[in-house]
Amino acid sequence: MDTQTDFLIIGSGVAGLMYALKVADKGTVAIVTKKQAVDSNTNLAQGGIASVFDLEDSFDLHIQDTLDSGDGLCNPDVVHQVVTGGPERIRELKAIGVGFNVDGDAPEKNGGKPFDLGREGGHSRNRIVHAQDMTGREVERVLLERARQNKNIRFYENHIAIDLITFSTRIKRGLVTTTHDDYCCGAYVLDRETRRVRTFGAGITLLATGGTGKVYLYTSNPDIATGDGIAMAYRAGATVANLEFVQFHPTCLYHPAAKNFLISEAVRGEGGRLIDADGKPFMQRYDPKRDLACRDVVARAIDTELKRSGQDSVFLDISHQPASFVTDRFPNLYEKCRSFGIDMTREPVPVVPAAHYMCGGVATDMLGRTDINRLYAVGETACTGLHGANRLASNSLLEALVYAEAAARQSIQDLAEAKKAVRPEVPDWDDVGTTDSDEQIMVAHNWDEIRRLMWNYVGIVRSDKRLARAQRRIDNIQKEIREYYWNFKVSPDLIELRNIATVAELVIKCANHRKESRGLHYNIGYPKKDQRWKKDTVIRRQIVG
C-alpha cells in the first residue's frame, strides 16, 4: 500500500474542493488530480451560480424553471433540495472570500450590497450570482487557496486514476439502494512523472472528475474532461444513468485558432441576439422565448440553420448595447475575442454548438452515495436527478456545492463505521507480463475515431441508422483497446482512451434505448415526446464473482 487516507477525492473542481474542506477536520484527505489542481471544468465556468436572492424571485419559480428545463425527468425532491440549499452555500463562499459582483446602485442590506443578478436562458427571473464573466475561476481560486492551507489535505497533482478498488462477490441488479455489501477501498493511480502505479487505500472515496466533453470532436471542455469517474464507476459495478442527455452549448467561438472557448449564455441574457450570415435573427422561428430559450432548443435551432444554409457558423450580436456595458460585464470574453481580431462591441461573434455538459452520470441518492458502499459521486460526474433531460443554465455549480455539503455530512458518518470494520489487505497493482508500448498509433487513431464518430452519429440530432453505425464501430474499437490494454503498461493516453471508449459506448447504448425525443436527446425517427419513456435510462455492468 503506497498511501492510506481517510478520504480519497479524485478530481479538484468545485465539488471535490468544497467536499475536502468539509471533511478535513474529521480525517486525512488525499486529492488526486491528473494535471494541476487548477485544471478543471470549474475554472472555465463563466456564467455563474443560479440561486434565489431577488425579492421578485422565489424558490418555487426556480424549481419550476428547473423542472421545465428537465423535460419531465427531474427528481422533484432533488430539485427542491438543491434550490433551497443554494443561498446558504453562496453566502458561505462569499464569507470565505469569493468576490461576487454586487449591485453598486442598491442600498446596503445586512451589512453589504445585494448581489448583482444576471439572467440566462430558461430562467424566468434574474438569479445568476456571478464574478464578472469568470465565476468558476474565482470560486476555484478561493477554494484551492483554502484547501492548500489545510494541514489535513494533501494534493497529488499529475496523478491519473486508473480504476477503483472494490471487494465484491455478488451479482447485483437494479437501481441505487446503497444497501449492497460491495464497498470501495480506494483506487489505483498512475504517477505521470515516475510512470509508477500507486495504490491508494481509503475509508471513503469520492468521484469528482467532471464531465465527458472530450468524447466529442468539438467541445467547450478542457482536455481533462474524458469521463474518467463515470468509466471507473461503471467498470466497478456502479449504476450509471441518463447518459444519452449530452448538453451541447449553443455558442462556442468559431475561429480556427480558438480551442474550447465558450461564449457565455449570459451574453444572450444581457440582450445578445443570434443572427444568420445575412444579419437576420432566427430564434423566433423555433421558440417563443427566442434567444432565451433553453439550451437544447437553441443548439438544435443553430444546427438546423447551419444545415439549411451550408454556412460554417451563425453569429451572436450584442453590439447594439453600449460598449462600456459590454466591456464591464464581459471583460474576459471581450479580451479573448479581441485576441482573435473580433470586437464584440462593434461586430457579431461567430459561434457554433459544442459538447458542453453531461446531464447523466454515476447514479446517486440524495446524499451523493452510489450503490457501491463508501463510494460517492458529486458534480458533473454524478447523476443526482437534478437536471433530468436538460440542465438549466448555471445550475451546475449550484448542484456541486449543495451535494458536496450533503455528501460530506454523510461521509463523516460512514467513515466512523468504516473504521470499526476490519480493513482487508488491498492488493498492489499487477503489471506482470506487460511491456512498454511500441504501437502508440493505435491510441492516437482510436482516440480520433471515437471523437469523430460520436460527433457525426451521436450528436445534436440522431437517428437509429446513425446510432447503429456508432455501435458497430465502438464495439470493434473496444476489442482493440482491451487487447492492447492487457498487453502493455498503462500510460496517461491509454487510460484516457479506455475511458472515452467506455463513456462513448454507454452514451450510444442509452441513446439507442430511448425511442422518443426528449430534452437533449433528439432522434429524427421519434421526433415527439412519449410518456411511456418518462423514466430514467439505467445501465449496470454485471459483476460475476
- Answer yes or no: do 481 and 507 share one domain: yes
- Answer yes or no: do 238 and 259 share one domain: no
Cβ pair 434, 486 in contact under 8 A: yes
Per-residue pLDDT at 481:
93
Cβ neighbours of residue 109 closer than 8 Å, sequence gap 6 or more: none
Residue 412 lies in a domain: no
- Answer yes or no: do 256 and 311 share one domain: yes
Residue 427 lies in a domain: no
Per-residue pLDDT at 39:
60
* CA 133 – CA 361 distance, rounded (Å): 27
Domain that holds residue 297: 252-353
- Answer yes or no: do 329 and 181 share one domain: no
Per-residue pLDDT at 5:
96
Residues annotated as catalytic (active site), given as ranges: 295
* CA 267 – CA 53 distance, rounded (Å): 21
- Answer yes or no: do 27 and 143 share one domain: yes
Per-residue pLDDT at 541:
86
Residue 139 lies in a domain: yes
Residue 420 lies in a domain: no
Per-residue pLDDT at 136:
87
- Answer yes or no: do 369 and 515 share one domain: no
- Answer yes or no: do 114 and 29 share one domain: yes
> Which SS3 state, helix, strand or coil, does residue 249 take?
strand
Residue 132 lies in a domain: yes
Residue 424 lies in a domain: no
- Answer yes or no: do 176 and 269 share one domain: no
Per-residue pLDDT at 40:
61
pLDDT tens for 256-269 read 888 778 898 889 98
- Answer yes or no: do 114 and 61 share one domain: yes
- Answer yes or no: do 221 and 167 share one domain: yes
E strand or H helix at 203 = strand 196-207
Buried b (16+ CB within 10 A) or exposed e, 351-380: bbbbbbbbbbbbbbbbbbbbbbbbbbbbbb
CATH number at residue 467: 1.20.58.100
pLDDT tens-digit profile, the chain (545 residues): 689 999 999 999 999 999 999 999 999 999 999 987 666 655 556 679 999 999 999 999 999 999 999 999 999 999 999 999 999 999 999 999 999 998 877 766 666 778 999 988 889 999 999 998 788 889 999 999 999 999 999 999 999 999 999 876 333 323 333 334 688 999 999 999 999 999 999 999 999 999 999 999 889 888 899 999 999 999 999 999 999 999 998 999 999 888 778 898 889 989 999 999 999 999 999 999 999 888 788 999 998 999 889 898 999 999 999 999 999 999 989 999 999 999 999 999 999 999 999 999 999 999 999 999 999 999 999 999 999 999 998 999 999 999 999 999 999 999 998 888 767 677 788 887 777 877 778 889 999 999 999 998 999 999 999 999 999 999 999 999 998 888 888 999 999 999 999 999 999 999 999 999 999 999 999 999 999 999 999 999 865 43
Q: How many domains does the chain have?
A: 3
Cβ neighbours of residue 223 closer than 8 Å, sequence gap 6 or more: 214
- Answer yes or no: do 107 and 1 share one domain: yes
Per-residue pLDDT at 452:
92
Using alpha carbons, select from 541, 542, 536, 543 the residue that is nearest to residue 241. Answer: 536
C-alpha cell at 392: 438549466
pLDDT tens for 336-388 read 999 999 999 999 999 999 999 999 999 999 999 999 999 999 999 999 999 99
CATH number at residue 263: 3.90.700.10
C-alpha cell at 394: 448555471
Per-residue pLDDT at 244:
98
Residue 151 lies in a domain: yes
Per-residue pLDDT at 19:
98
- Answer yes or no: do 321 and 470 share one domain: no
Question: What's this model's pTM, rounded to 2 decimal places?
Answer: 0.89
CA angle 218, 220, 221 (to 5 degrees): 105
Q: Edge-to-edge strand order for the sheet containing 361-363?
A: 382-383, 361-363, 240-241, 538-539
Q: Which residue has the cell 482491451?
A: 482
E strand or H helix at 398 = helix 396-420
Residue 268 lies in a domain: yes
Per-residue pLDDT at 458:
96
CATH number at residue 127: 3.50.50.60
